[in-house]
Amino acid sequence: MNEKSQKLGAKRKKKSHDNEPNHQNPPTCSCFCNSNKPHLVSPSSKSEVFPEFTKWHVYVVNGLNDNQTLLVHCNSKEDDLGIQNLSQGANTTWSFRTNFVHSTLFGCYMSKANAHAALKVFWQDIYLFQKCNWKNCIYIAKDDGVYIKDFPNDCDVFAKKWEDGRR
């Protein structure tokens, strides 16, 4: 490894430790979980310490009742994933690796009959990485809003309430 690579690696390691949350009082799940375990988990692989090595997968699932269709339009600065209409129980998914400067951001607009929501579905955040189990971010559109699957606590966490009307 050359000197420049070693310095970059040292900076990356320092950065990840500087941004670590307070481990003495970790937040607990704010949903109805099967357990009240803390959200924080220790990274067990190199990809968890350096998330740019991780291949991420984002899923948007239509969990609406009464056979409702969910319109989904997701994009990042670089990629527009198009508009999709998901029938009840269907999902859309895409995979990617984060960029080198850790600025990868995906957002989705979702709408159902007379309601819509727009939210970020992927960004550089240690709590998001942990909820997603360091690889799979799963968003579920339900009748009262959009939820994210919290893998360590085995529950769905409320992420965004539906707003009235369509845009």
Query: pLDDT digit string (tens) for 75-130?
Result: 999 999 999 999 999 999 999 888 777 788 999 999 999 999 999 999 989 999 99
Q: What is the pLDDT of residue 3?
A: 46
Element (H, E) at 83: strand 80-86
**33 phi and psi angles, rounded to 5 deg:** -90, 165
Among 19-23, 54-58, 151-155, the range with the most confident prediction by mean pLDDT is 151-155
Higher-pLDDT residue of 2 and 56 is: 56
Which tens digit of pLDDT belongs to each residue from 24-52? Answer: 333 334 454 544 433 334 444 444 444 45
Q: What is the pLDDT of residue 97?
A: 87
Would you say residue 155 lies in a domain? yes
Measuring CA to CA, which residue among 122, 126, 158 is closest to residue 140?
Answer: 158
Buried b (16+ CB within 10 A) or exposed e, 80-91: ebeeeebeeeeb
Which residues are bridge partners to 73 per DSSP?
83, 109
Total count of domains within the chain: 1
Using pLDDT thresholds of 50, 70 and 90, give the confidence band for residue 53.
low
Q: What is the pLDDT of residue 150?
A: 98
Would you say residue 3 lies in a domain? no
Domain that holds residue 64: 54-164
Would you say residue 97 lies in a domain? yes
Using pLDDT thresholds of 50, 70 and 90, give the confidence band for residue 166.
low
Measuring CA to CA, which residue among 91, 49, 96, 51 is closest to residue 77?
Answer: 96
Would you say residue 16 lies in a domain? no
Would you say residue 12 lies in a domain? no
Q: What is the pLDDT of residue 101?
A: 75
Which tens digit of pLDDT belongs to each residue from 73-84? Answer: 999 999 999 999
Q: What is the pLDDT of residue 167?
A: 59
CATH number at residue 78: 2.60.40.10
Would you say residue 160 lies in a domain? yes
Would you say residue 147 lies in a domain? yes
Q: What is the pLDDT of residue 99?
A: 74
Higher-pLDDT residue of 29 and 139 is: 139
pLDDT at position 70 over 90: yes
Tokens of 138: 């799963």
Would you say residue 125 lies in a domain? yes
> What pTM value is reported for the model?
0.71
What mean pLDDT comes out for the span 132-141?
Answer: 96
Q: Rounded CA gap, 38 and 28, in Å?
A: 5
